[in-house]
Amino acid sequence: MCTFFVYIVLARQLGAENYGLFSAAFSLATIASITANFGIPQVWLKVFGSEGWGALSWVRPSLILLVLTTVISCFLMLAWSEFGPHDSVSEDVLSLMTLFVLGQAFSESMVAKLQLEEKYMKVALLQFAPHFLRLISVLGLIYVARVNINPTDIALIYGLVGLITFAVFFHPLRQFSLGNFVLAGHECTRYQNSITPKSHKDVFKEAWPFGFGAVLAFVYLQIDIIMLKYISGDREAGLYNVGFVVLTAIMLFPVVLFSKFLLPKYYRWSVHDREKFFSAYKRGNIIMIISGIFTALVVFLLSDFGVPFVFGEEYKDSIILVKILAIVIPLNFLAYSVGATLVTTHHIRTKIKIMGLVAVTNVVLNLWLIPYFGSSGAAAATVISSALLLGFYYFIAKHRVFIGV
């Protein structure tokens, strides 16, 4: 929720145009951070869930790969800031956000380690701390130092917090590579001599579906903001981001439930307890569809008053965008529940193909709709893509994951 409050403050302080400029830069930094961790945290959850302590052999080569992909992602971010179609402000913002990429890559890896230990309070604290630090820094700059903030100031804050995050998590992850942690759900015995060594090639083979899948997920969820900036301008991106911020805050519930809590269990149950796996799937679908519909109705009914009250009168044009994106809420809630079952066993590659198809569809729809309808076209593209994604996920889960159940 700290991120939500930060974006409220930024929307009111920066104005729609500068807000759109920073939002697009943040989205670019997000995709760079996804590329940086390249699915390695998900590999850890998978291999430790199936191999127990034997999966220690995956950690050291995967950390080396993490460093390599992070360096490459940061370099590409800097290259785009320098040679892309940017003014000097956009160039400075993108350059500073490179440090955010560095911190985010290592933060996600640290989360995976704590998930394996089932230290969920620490997971919550770890994910809360950087957001809170950014929030108090922004508030301090505005209300204590009385600075008339601009996008460069905000990018500097995000970059410094990213650098701190990297510094704090580097040592614990190194200790993890040495086996200094507690693996939940498995006996505390380590047969180091029986562990088969793994190479960087082995890690890459396991990681690429997760990494590529995460990039594709970004494309059909956030590429709209970036495309709006470069097609329709910063203001349209700023207006759209108001709706996206509302959607992101709401989607925190299924993200935390499935990605941070249930996913490690799904890996274990899919191999060792199929009955419990199917039972959790059914209950998850029911909870998600009911809560998703209820939440969408609340957002739709409150948007006329809530958007200008929270973000400012300048964002009245965002009301229609929030209403359109409200349709996405029950679709994505249910898609998280159904899609979580596809990351197990051999279904992950099928999931990647589905996400690729949906991502391409989203980009094509944006290229078609944004020039004519601006941010409303981008919102419509998101709704269509979300419905398509859910339909494919449900079909595969029914006919392949739980066939005959």
| 165 against 55, higher pLDDT | 165
Nearest to 386 by CA among 259, 292, 271, 257: 292
pLDDT tens digit sequence for 61-87: 999 999 999 999 999 999 999 999 999
C-alpha separations of 250 from 217, 227, 355 in Å? 17, 23, 21
Q: What's 181's DSSP letter?
A: S
> What local confidence, expressed as pLDDT, does residue 193 receive?
43
pLDDT tens digit sequence for 9-61: 999 999 999 999 999 999 999 999 999 988 898 888 888 877 778 788 888 89
Lookup: tokens for 15: 């104005």
pTM here is 0.85
3-state helix, strand, coil in the chain (%, to 5): 90, 0, 10
What span, in angstroms and rounded, lies between the C-alpha atoms of 231 and 374?
9
Phi, psi of 300 (to 5 degrees): -60, -45
pLDDT tens digit sequence for 110-162: 888 888 888 878 888 888 899 899 999 999 999 888 889 999 999 999 999 99
